[in-house]
Amino acid sequence: MSRIGKKPVSLPSGVSAAVSGQTIEVKGPKGTRSFTATDDVTITVADSTVTVTPRGTSKRARQQWGMSRSMVANLVQGVSGGFRKELEITGVGYRAQAQGNTLKLALGYSHEVNFDVPQGVTVTTPKQTEILIEGIDQQLVGQVAANIREWRAPEPYKGKGIRYKGEFIFRKEGKKK
């Protein structure tokens, strides 16, 4: 039995869901998202709750049960509250600046890095050393954060680079004479 799959997903006020076949479409104040489930599960909407049930006892049906419920919960959270990732930049001269649909990064290279922000995600820089990524698609927000971090991952000796807010970087001791 899937512990996650058994839990129904409650719809907050202002969020509506409609099922057509294997596709569920969730509408909320931040936008509209949809998810198409496999034939191994059944999705039903009743009394402002969404329930996912398996169509058998096969291993694949039980796997899809919990995964589909998590996907529906992420849709509901995305259209109601959205997702956000915060990045911190550490290093002398390292800074970021959001200009329209482009994020300009100075990361110690001989040139400035211009990162094009994809559709559906907003990137803001409250400070020169902070980057805030927001959107309704959890996967896209996380992927954009990972792509930005990839330009200069934090290194273990001085701790310079781009890290997630609150991330701990294990520091190493340098060479000794």
Tens of pLDDT, residue by residue over 22-76, are: 999 999 999 999 999 999 999 999 989 999 999 988 999 999 999 999 999 999 9
Tens of pLDDT, residue by residue over 131-143, are: 999 999 999 999 9
Q: Is residue 174 part of a domain?
A: no
At which of 80, 105, 130 does a domain end? 80
* Domain match, 49 and 66 both: yes
Q: Provide the residue range defining the domain that includes 88.
A: 83-164
CA distances 6 to 18, 49, 53, 65, 109, Å, are: 20, 12, 8, 9, 51
List of residues 6+ apart from 158 with CB closer than 8 A: 91
Q: pLDDT class for 174, splitting at 50, 70, 90?
A: confident
- Segment 71-95 shows an average pLDDT of 94
* Domain match, 76 and 90 both: no
Q: What is the predicted pLDDT for the residue at 3?
A: 84
CA distances 126 to 32, 101, 112, 130, Å, are: 27, 16, 19, 6
Least Cα distance to 30 among 78, 85, 101 occurs for 78
Tens of pLDDT, residue by residue over 101-127, are: 999 999 999 999 999 999 999 999 999
Q: What is the predicted pLDDT for the residue at 1?
A: 63
Q: Is residue 125 part of a domain?
A: yes
